[in-house]
A and B are shown apart, each in its own frame.
Chain A
């Protein structure tokens, strides 16, 4: 079974530029999560999708972050414009809520904002 795929793995941009991350979950997983992990901290949930609907986006900075999950499969997270404090690893995870909510993480995208 293929795992969660993310791209790109690394991205370096200057502040005020825009950036987009892509995630393809494990086949059949209805729930998809985007997390932000700043160095030395635990992952912080940004947004949770159930199929193509948003379950929780309470911690998503909506003035600059947006996410979509068209057709209930892969997802894109965008930042526009980026700030220095957005430097972090962006993790995508998926789970099959038919059972326990055990999440499987992709390799992450390391974003550096200069």
Chain B
């Protein structure tokens, strides 16, 4: 059974701090990795995608991928109260299988 694991949280950080969200996956053949943000009562929206080992930066967001360790993370710098949401890790495995983790709830306190 292919799995994507995330700590459910909540992860609480003060405003202006760095929030670090982590995700592990079981399918070693996975090729594509995504982070989605989901506000309560809303649908997921794509924040970042990453396909190769290393870091990918987009504004305040940095995605990190380590395929050897089957680990992907999302860093949010200068966290804002508006970043408070559930962050979903999604992995596209072999054969177009697409699996989401359960999400990590992030709370940014003013």
Contact = CB atoms under 8 A, between A and B. Distances in A.
B110 to A, nearest CB: 26
Contacts of B102: 40-42
A46 B4 CA distance: 16
Contacts of A107: 42-43
A33 B43 CA distance: 14
Number of chain A interface residues as a range = 20 to 34
Nearest to A89: B43
Interface stretch (A14-22, A61-69, A98-106): A98-106
Interface in B25-80: 32, 34, 42-46, 49, 51
A91 B98 CA distance: 14
A33 B100 contact: no
Contacts of A48: 96, 98
Most chain B beta-carbon contacts within 10 A, residue among A33, A40, A42, A103: A42
Contact of A42 (B43, B51, B95, B101): B101
A105 to B, nearest CB: 4
B82 interface: no
Contacts of B34: 102-103
B51 to A, nearest CB: 7
A25 interface: no
Interface string A48-92: 100000011010000000000000000000000000000000010
28 contacts: A35-B100, A40-B102, A42-B90, A42-B100, A42-B101, A42-B102, A42-B103, A45-B97, A45-B98, A45-B100, A48-B96, A55-B96, A56-B95, A56-B96, A56-B97, A56-B98, A58-B97, A100-B49, A100-B51, A102-B49, A103-B90, A103-B98, A104-B46, A105-B43, A105-B45, A106-B43, A107-B42, A107-B43
Interface of A: 33, 35, 40-45, 48, 55-56, 58, 91, 100-108
